[in-house]
Chains A and B, each alone.
Chain A
Amino acid sequence: MLEVSLVERVINYGVSKGAEFVEIFVEDRFDTRITLIDGKIDSASSERDFGLGLRLFKDDQQVYAYTNDPTEKQLFTMVDRLIEVLQIRSAEPRIVNLTNLDVKNSHMIVLHPLEVSKMEKARIMKLAYEGAKNYSDLISQVVVRYWDYDQKVFIANSEGTMASDRRIKTRLMVTAVATKDGEQESGFYGPGASMGLEFFNFHDPRDIGAEAARIADRMVRAEYAPAGKMPVVIANEFGGVIFHEACGHALEATSVAKGASLFANKLNQKVAADCVTAVDDGTIPNAWGSSNIDDEGTLTQRNVLIENGVLKSYLVDRFHAKKMNTKPNGCGRRESYKYIPTSRMSNTFIAAGKYLPEEIISATDYGLYAKRMGGGSVHPATGEFNFAVMEGYLIEKGRIVKPVRGATLIGKGIDVINNIDMVGNDLARGQGMCGSISGSVPADVGQPTIRVKELIVGGRKR
């Protein structure tokens, strides 16, 4: 994407001016997005992004510049401007020679998205539409969104590492609207993977549409959820958003390094119930949140965050690794060359436990069963998190009795992971986009069915 000799010259120039660390990130990316509304392809767009990000460290300070005109002159000017900001006056001579990092591809692609016609993509979308529309007479509208991208990245730094990766992702997102007696409710289902179009050999688009429609159909018949504190059983797959929000973000070095996390200084201490083991694994073959290397050129790895309730590891990026006196562990991520990378989750999940999901429900006298979760957010410094229940049911005397809607769950991270008292054996992962200071990145969340003894359910019925 850029001549290696030029990259080497720019890095050496930065080093010669006194930067402790110089990094170049080059990205070349194609996106395809197609929207289908009411059975018709409403719009389609193609996008190519190309740019370079330059990052320098000195004395625990970090500066960044980016451009989509990476000429030699422009790059040297960028280095000069950043050196000026860091107020570096002297430098020790040092020569950087770049060597390629051996990166094995763990995410084989069969049907490359750029080689599959858009007609074929449109056909898949229409199947998803049919799956949703035919699910129930109450489905009044269906929106299907198709998205694929092919991102090539090249990273080189003053430690002499040079690495490349190619990330190919495909995702289908269906929103179905159900209308009954003048009221509307929506359901969403949006699986994806680090795959090409072969993804649809494993996931029938009709099933994806039907799942979104099923949720809308149930929820439009539902009454409002109850309000107040109660036990909550959270189903597997996307239910894992609870760990992602309640704990995952607070385990990122971005928060931990500055003491803005309730998990700071708690390594090897008991932070969760014994039944909780949580992992972030960026290496899972073809998973939505996976990549071979992170956006700082570090090989991704499997990081056990919490093991049987004991805090084992944080998620650490390069900049914060130095501050925390540890090593980066392959989780420095960014949306694009327009963002400074920082520690982020990839595929994060609570490991399987021993209970059957049915056992967990039958052991619950009264509470909420959150079958499908929406998104959420958290303030890592205070631990306050929230997430939306997209599909909920009321549990009474160990049985699911009726659908309920409109509930948000809130709580504080540490309380929640200490209050998990049952973990099921049905581990599965779901796909989402995770937003933070380094932009929006694909991330898997996951868990088996779990029960939290007590959470605040933001419903309306008392």
Chain B
Amino acid sequence: MREKQFAEMVFSLARKRGFDDCEVLIFNHREFEVVVSKGKIENYTDASSKRVTLKAVKDKRSSFATTEILDETSARFLVESAYENFMITDTLDEDDIWAERPAKEPFEYEDAFERLSVREKIELAKTMEEKCLSYDKRIQNVIMSAYGHQSSEVRLFNTKGLELAETFGYGAAFVYLVASDGKKPKRGFRAMYGSQPSDINVERVALEASSEAISQLGAQSIRSRKYKVLLRRDVFAQLFFAFSSIFSAEAVQKGLSPLKGKLHQKIAVESLNLIEDPFFEKLPIKRSFDNEGVPTTRKSFIDHGVLTTLFHSIKSARKDNVKPTGNVFNQRCVPLNVVLPEGSLDYESLIESVDEGLLVIAFDGLHSGVRPVSGEFSLGANGYRIAGGKIAEPVEQFTVSGNFLDVLNKIELIGSDCEIVSANWFGPSVVVSELDVAGG
């Protein structure tokens, strides 16, 4: 069944069921990934799938249902399930269906990775593995050498006459490996993201993952105390995303975020600017509207240390009497792309600025060692000790603890080593004046 025809069938059933308005959101997803190990294809996935979500509103209350099949039975399932869900929903928070067309033209993503043949992509993954193994004989095991890409077409139809469509996607390569000197194995990881194959330099991925693992060999434990900490760009991004839910207005309204009462106040050092930019040229994913059909916008949500806005869905915006910010993705209200503008010092100068401290290159347990309601975290980490402005030796088996809002206030220096470190973060490394470290 054609998508628009399906949406119209759902609308007609929903009207009969007594819903005031509704919206059908359809994702057509394409996924390709090849994982190579020891020169052989260990995992290979080539797939496409569909996902349809109904948001139905009655008496300003919304309810949801999702299916993966487009037929009349599914249309009935969506409407009947949404109706049952409506019957139990008793929140006083009002929701709505969006009517305004975005001013910006929808983005079109042409998946350039599809132009590479399957064989070429397999070869790229194999090349990466070979480059790692030939980098140093102590590279013992390339656990995964992967190359992949995904793209989605999103289509939105609603009873307020809005009909939108756009495509987005990205490609990525990553390597996860282990080096060993016969005593203790150490790991290396590197991923690279882009919107076309030329953005992804597999040789560099291999080189950086390999050199990281080798340089970690012989890692020592460290003493528990406070240290000045240089958070490498990817590590700072990971820490931010572990706490990104605290910027959701709904979390603040419900008392689930430490940012309650902090809007328009200084929450970070003056030198810190964080920009949510759904159109940022260098990042692969671009969106002109969010999953509620609301136009996305570029905004400095932390501007010279001041929290200027929270991320609003239609529902949370109504409650605060503001405009929704176009940040609803995957049923959460989160930033799509985050940009931390560069500071003045390059990476080497950041290291030189630290007389005695730690360089953190990996955090573990980011899903469990963080408490979004309080901002507290305690995370396993790996890195190097810095002494006299130079990297002294690799260190392991330590934890870094603190409070995320405290970290934002203790950023001393922001680097100029900006890079795309995940599909949705572009930024540099930062020096944090003091964090609690526990070691052996």
Residues of A within 8 A of B (CB): 34, 37-38, 40-51, 59-69, 81-82, 84-86, 117-119, 121-122, 140-141, 143, 177, 179, 183-186, 227-229, 255, 258-260, 262, 338, 340, 374-377, 379, 381-382, 384-388, 405-408, 410-412, 435, 437, 456-460, 462
Contacts and interface: CB of A to CB of B under 8 A. Distances in A.
B143 interface: yes
B321 interface: no
Contacts of B63: 43-45
A408 B49 contact: no
A59 B40 contact: yes
B367 interface: yes
A45 B66 contact: yes
B29 to A, nearest CB: 9
B39 to A, nearest CB: 10
13 contacts: A37-B91, A37-B254, A40-B92, A46-B64, A48-B66, A48-B68, A61-B42, A64-B43, A338-B49, A377-B367, A379-B187, A384-B380, A407-B378
B12 interface: no
Contact of B369 (A68, A82, A177, A388): A388
Query: Which of B85, B256, B438, B439 is most buried by chain A, counting CB atoms within 10 A of its CB?
Result: B438
Contact of A375 (B89, B90, B368): B368
B141 A381 contact: yes
A453 B81 CA distance: 53
Given A46-B84, A183-B374, A259-B140, 13 more contacts: A40-B91, A48-B66, A50-B69, A62-B41, A66-B49, A67-B47, A81-B46, A119-B88, A258-B141, A258-B143, A384-B380, A408-B401, A460-B378
B122 interface: yes
B379 A386 contact: yes
Contacts of B187: 379, 381-382, 384
A260 B141 contact: yes
Contacts of A406: 371, 376, 378, 401
Contact of B401 (A184, A259, A377, A458): A458
A456 B440 contact: yes
Given A63-B44, A340-B43, A457 B438 contact: yes
B161 interface: no
Contacts, number: 246
A32 B90 CA distance: 17
Contacts of B42: 61-62
Interface in B101-129: 118, 122
Contacts of A65: 45-47
A381 B189 CA distance: 13
B256 A50 contact: no
Nearest to A60: B40
Contacts of B399: 227, 386, 408, 410, 456, 458
Given A118-B85, A459-B438, A384 B374 contact: no
B186 interface: yes
Given A258-B38, A460-B401, A45 B64 contact: yes
Contact of B379 (A63, A118, A408): A408
A121 B439 CA distance: 46
Given A143-B256, A388-B365, A410-B380, A41 B397 contact: no
B82 A177 contact: no
Interface residues of B, number: 75
Given A59-B40, A377-B368, A379-B187, A68 B69 contact: yes
Nearest to B221: A456
B58 to A, nearest CB: 13
A62 B439 CA distance: 41
A228 B439 contact: yes
Contact of A45 (B50, B85, B373): B85
Given A45-B85, A64-B43, A382-B185, A408 B380 contact: yes
A381 B185 contact: yes
Contacts of A122: 88
A40 B380 CA distance: 37
Contacts of A183: 374
Contacts of B68: 48-51, 68
A289 to B, nearest CB: 18
B47 A338 contact: yes
Nearest to B42: A62
Contacts of A63: 41, 44, 46
A460 B436 contact: yes
Contacts of B439: 228, 456
B81 to A, nearest CB: 3
A381 B63 CA distance: 45
B367 A382 contact: no
A119 B365 contact: no
Contacts of A121: 88
Looking at A82, A86, A119, A458, the one whose CB has the most chain B CB atoms below 10 A away is: A458
A183 B141 CA distance: 46
A352 to B, nearest CB: 26
A134 to B, nearest CB: 18
Contacts of A140: 255
Contacts of B184: 382
Interface in B69-109: 69, 74, 77, 81-82, 84-93
B118 A260 contact: no
Given A48-B66, A64-B45, A141-B256, A408 B141 contact: no
